[in-house]
Amino acid sequence: MAFGLQWDIRFNLVKSQIVCFGSKSPVCDCINIGGKFIKWSDRIKYLGCYFRCGRIEVDSSSYVGKFYGALSNILNVLGSRRDEMLAVHLVKAYCLLSLLYSCEIWRLNNNDAE
């Protein structure tokens, strides 16, 4: 808290998390701001990307979920008499963007392919 006061930083306790990259998080709540302890997190969101903290990996499950959600919406709107080329164009325009967001920083492992 003293650091925040000194540098005129206001911490939002609702959005604040503490993480440990490269190893397991400690068991204790060791950061106290304004009389409230901040919990350790195993996964954090930064600029739209979810990071698994212990293994320093990007969690791709949210991207895959958004892809399948957009794909399902497209298929439902097109119905049973859908034009294949239109479906391909819509998937390319609306689904792939959500799937490939921040793919430049991904380091996938075998578990992510499931």
Task: For 17-62, write each residue's pLDDT tens digit.
Answer: 888 777 666 767 677 777 788 877 888 877 777 777 766 677 777 7
Residue 113 lies in a domain: no
Residue 111 lies in a domain: no
Q: How many domains does the chain have?
A: 2
Determine the structural domain holding residue 101 and report its residue range: 61-106
Residue 3 lies in a domain: yes
What is the chain's mean pLDDT, rounded? 78
Residue 26 lies in a domain: yes
- Please, what is the Cα angle at 11 between 8 and 14, to 5 degrees? 165
- The verdict on 38 and 65 lying in the same domain is no
Helix, strand, coil distribution of the chain in percent, nearest 5: 40, 15, 45
Separation CA 114–CA 85 (nearest Å): 28
Residue 87 lies in a domain: yes
- The verdict on 100 and 71 lying in the same domain is yes
